[in-house]
Structure 1
Amino acid sequence: MTLIAFEILIIAIFAGIIGAVLGLGGGIIITPALTLLFDVDINYAIGASIISVIATSSGSAVAYIKERITNIRISMFLEIATTVGAVTGALIAGFIAPDYLYIIFGLLLLYSAIAMLKKKNTEGIDVEPHPLATKLNLNSSYYDKAIQQHIPYNVTNVYGGFSVMYGAGILSGLLGIGSGSFKVMAMDMFMKLPLKVSSATSNFMMGVTATASASVYFLRGDIDPKIAAPVAIGVLIGAAIGARIMQRLKSKTTRMLFIPILAYVAIQMILQGLGWKW
């Protein structure tokens, strides 16, 4: 293994840990790291980022599902919205200027970061369940190892969460970027799921979405094995570690880690929509 490949591996491990803990897939670290630190072409960096999302999902999904933190029913239900949204985004890509969407979604994320900062550390116990959530059996519970308690939770505002997921799918299909931050935000802010459940379910969902996208990048020749291989190995290791760490963190700690990253992504999207690169 060359020195550069080893350095990419180390960064990928870190990205995998962050991605598994916060449900963001690791691409938020992989893409800028490859382009800024290693001068990798942006197309190859994005291709490696897609691989990192699949690796993060693969490395953490097993642990989260085994511990029954992931809500598979919610993930399958919301995947309908993200898939239809991705197809919509691909179809309208030639008709809508992406700069406006960057700004709109960036502002939405920034508002969500501020709202999450003000949000009390509630875990959905007192939330009134939505009738559709009850009908589809989306309400559930999980065991929180940090406080050693079973946390029951109800799901509310199903239509609002579904709509945000549709928007996240449009963004992914139109701009070719990950939407883990939107998935977590939709489940946490709109559907009132516990943040740990939102993160675990987001990780599971992103693997499904990224697998479909990876074939497109592969056919384009944007996945370089010399870059993608150390990224995949590192992120897989990091995701397995991150899944264990997340289960031991208190929800309040996880939220405090997630908020600054959400704000960073929001500001980055707004600046990119205004034509400023950083």
Structure 2
Amino acid sequence: MVLTSLEILAFSFIAGIFGALLGLGGGIIVIPALTLLLGVDIKYAIGASIVSVIATSSGAAVAYVRDKITNLRIGMFLEIATTTGAITGAYIAGLISPKYLYIIFGIVLLYSALAMLRKRHEELPQNVVSHPLAKKLKLEGSYFDKVLNKEVKYNVAGVYSGFGTMYVAGVISGLLGIGSGIFKVMAMDLLMKLPMKVSTATSNFMIGVTAAASAGVYLMRGYIDPEIAGPVALGVLLGATLGTRIMQKMRNTTIRKIFIPVLAYISIQMLIKGLGV
């Protein structure tokens, strides 16, 4: 059991680093590692994954908020759409066949990966005109980039499309029981034209809020096993703490180049599930 706990801790540590870097919950590493490599039941793996999301968000949010990379106004504004979408998804979960949704969203993510691939050399968004609602809500912001050694000011475009995509992300999360961090980062990067660092940092802040709501449900159902969730939480928290330091020393282009294959991998996995391969 000690060896198993150490293995869980090691995988979770890696998951925490990637989670903090890319604005994802770490479930993309935690769930396959627990189920495929360590033989953990999928229900307990998902329960532990939710704990990992909260740990990633907590570990990364402190550093990102302190260094003003996280845009709290955008995060709280978009969380309205995500939460509403999650409630909608949970409500209609029994009315729609998941396989069709996996196919549709798999195609959407694959298209998004190609769109990101085209702008892989773009360090910062260029010639972005702020959306009128972004100005009204004061969503624009700035942060000090330690790699570029300068203060980066940015505008916010595509408020309506970004908000709509966040609603869809929430629906997906509620319907399919998957993390929607990948959609959050994609929407902020491609639609709202935020710098990649701001997108991943703000996503990290948001996913913790969403996961905290789900954690209670899994706890009540008895799917959060302390012997599994404990090492996961500790490993992810340590990894996320290191991940935040690594992220701030990376270029936006490097983060995007890491994010693209992860996005492509998830899209292919969704298509495989939808097609029943």
Residue type of the partner of 2:57? S
Q: Say if 1:125 and 1:151, in contact at 8 Å, map to a contact too.
A: no
Residue type of the partner of 2:24? L
The aligned residue for residue 74 of structure 2 is 74
Q: Distance in 1 between matches of 2:75 and 2:207?
A: 10
Q: Distance in 2 between matches of 1:90 and 1:235?
A: 27
* Structure 2: segments with no counterpart, 5+ residues: none
Task: Please report how far the alpha carbon of residue 124 of structure 1 lies from its aligned counterpart in structure 2 after TM superposition.
Answer: 3.0
- Tell me how many residue pairs correspond in the alignment: 276
The aligned residue for residue 3 of structure 1 is 3
The aligned residue for residue 115 of structure 2 is 115
Task: Please report how far the alpha carbon of residue 147 of structure 1 lies from its aligned counterpart in structure 2 after TM superposition.
Answer: 1.3
Secondary structure of 2:228's match? helix
Q: Deviations over 1:123-155 (max 9, x none)?
A: 235201000000000011111111111111110
Q: Pairwise mapping of residues 1-278 of structure 1 onto structure 2 (< 5 A)?
A: 2-119=2-119, 120-276=121-277
Secondary structure of 1:221's match? coil
Q: Say if 1:124 and 1:152, in contact at 8 Å, map to a contact too.
A: no
Residue type of the partner of 1:146? V
Residue type of the partner of 1:142? Y
Residue type of the partner of 1:228? A
Residue type of the partner of 2:28? I
Question: Which range moved further: 79-88 or 1-10?
Answer: 1-10
State the Cα RMSD in Å.
Answer: 0.9
Q: Distance in 1 between matches of 2:275 and 2:227?
A: 34
Q: Percent identity?
A: 65
Q: Distance in 2 between matches of 1:200 and 1:137?
A: 18
Q: Distance in 2 between matches of 1:141 and 1:121?
A: 18
Q: Say if 1:112 and 1:185, in contact at 8 Å, map to a contact too.
A: yes
Q: Distance in 2 between matches of 1:177 and 1:219?
A: 19
* Structure 1: segments with no counterpart, 5+ residues: none
Q: Distance in 2 between matches of 1:125 and 1:49?
A: 36
